[in-house]
Amino acid sequence: MIVDPIIVNWNSGDYLEKCINSIFSNANADYVNTIYIIDNNSSDNSLELINPNNKIQIIRNKENRGFAKASNQGFHLSKAPYLLLLNPDTQLLDTTLKDCIAFMEKHDETDILGCRLLNEQGETSPSCARFPTPAKLFMDSVGLSKVFPRLFSPAILMSDWDHKTSRYVDQVMGAFMFMRHSIFEKVGYFDERFFVYCEELDFSKRLHDLGGKSFFNTDIVAIHSGEGTTKAVKAFRLFLNLRSRLQYAKKHFNSFGYFLVWLGTFFIEPFTRIIFLLSSGRFKEIKTVFEGYKMLIRKANDQHPKSNR
């Protein structure tokens, strides 16, 4: 019993039940110490669907504290040598935990392990990221990675790579992050200024700067439906994504780099997003762009370039 799965839940419906059942499969259960479910004030019945088990500890927050804060709650509670940060819309296969432990036991130099994530159609989903640069983020705002994908790779998500080989990467997706408990002594915890999005990117960047390593293993597999808990709130998700990008830029880039990202985010990307939706016939989603940016503008003072330090 050497793994503590940590799941941050927010209105995940029956995804959470399926995730828990996969962890308690005959092949996985023997490796599990305690499953920590940190619930961010869900209003659905996702928690009630779970069968009682003495290996499950549920922490019920009275408000939505965000992914970073909730994850840290689980990190602090964990006592096992390994932790698995897992999205509720993820399911393990029978050998997932066994394979993760075996790999980490043989590779002391690896701090974080990611695996190949399959969507519900059985297709491999991009789950690794690169550390962005100001120029790359600006080009994303212009839309170059969408219009000319062979010439301009995305700033963060490695969707230009097929994920069919194993390799060291900058960051593995927070939907499945298998980590040594000792990593927190090295790098600290998630930066709680990130409500959701970019917190694992920032965490991996700090780890990398200290000489730590993240490895993607394509031979280890799990299922991840994607957007399971946020697909119903697309405008809010867009707002959170943009705000976290600006927060990351403010923290890791110099003043000019942050200004470049801020400029692209506020004055170029709204138009490129709308043009892309118009050209692809997704007219109903244009309203989502307006609503998301309306929320972002309300918080604009927090991301104004003059406030950069």
Please report which helix (H) or strand (E) contains residue 19, including its range: helix 15-23
Per 3-state DSSP, the chain is made up of helix, strand and coil in percentages (nearest 5) of 40, 20, 40
Confidence band, pLDDT 50/70/90 cuts, at residue 306: very low
Please tell me whether residue 63 adopts helix, strand or coil conformation. coil
Q: Looking at the predicted structure, is the pLDDT value of residue 229 above 80? A: no
Number of other residues whose CB lies within 10 A of the CB of residue 200: 23
Contact criterion met (CB below 8 Å) for 159 and 166: no
Strand partners, 9: 39
Q: What local confidence, expressed as pLDDT, does residue 146 receive?
A: 87
Mean pLDDT (whole number) for 265-283: 95
Confidence band, pLDDT 50/70/90 cuts, at residue 150: confident
Q: What local confidence, expressed as pLDDT, does residue 279 receive?
A: 94
Contact criterion met (CB below 8 Å) for 114 and 176: yes
| Parallel, antiparallel or unpaired: strands 90-92 and 214-224 | antiparallel
Q: What local confidence, expressed as pLDDT, does residue 131 receive?
A: 98
DSSP codes joined into one string, 176-244 = EEEEETTHHHHH-S--TT-SSSSHHHHHHHHHHHTT--EEEEEEEEEEE-SSTTTTT-HHHHHHHHHHH
Q: What's the pLDDT tens digit per position in 165-175?
A: 999 999 999 99
Token output for 250: 């403010």
pTM for the structure as a whole: 0.93
How far apart, in whole angstroms, are the C-alpha atoms of residue 186 and residue 179?
Answer: 12
What are the phi and psi torsion angles at 257 (to 5°)?
-60, -45
Lowest mean pLDDT among 28-32, 64-68, 179-183, 223-227: 223-227
Q: Looking at the predicted structure, is the pLDDT value of residue 201 above 50? A: yes
Reference 50, options 15, 84, 83, 78; nearest CA is 15
Contact criterion met (CB below 8 Å) for 180 and 111: yes
| Parallel, antiparallel or unpaired: strands 171-172 and 90-92 | unpaired
Mean pLDDT of the chain: 93
Q: What's the pLDDT tens digit per position in 78-131?
A: 999 999 999 999 999 999 999 999 999 999 999 999 999 999 899 999 999 999
Helices vs strands, H then E, count in the chain: 12, 12
Per-residue b/e over 238-255, b at no fewer than 16 CB within 10 Å?
bbbbbbbbbbbbbbbbee
Q: What local confidence, expressed as pLDDT, does residue 278 receive?
A: 96
Mean pLDDT (whole number) for 218-245: 85
Q: What local confidence, expressed as pLDDT, does residue 307 receive?
A: 36
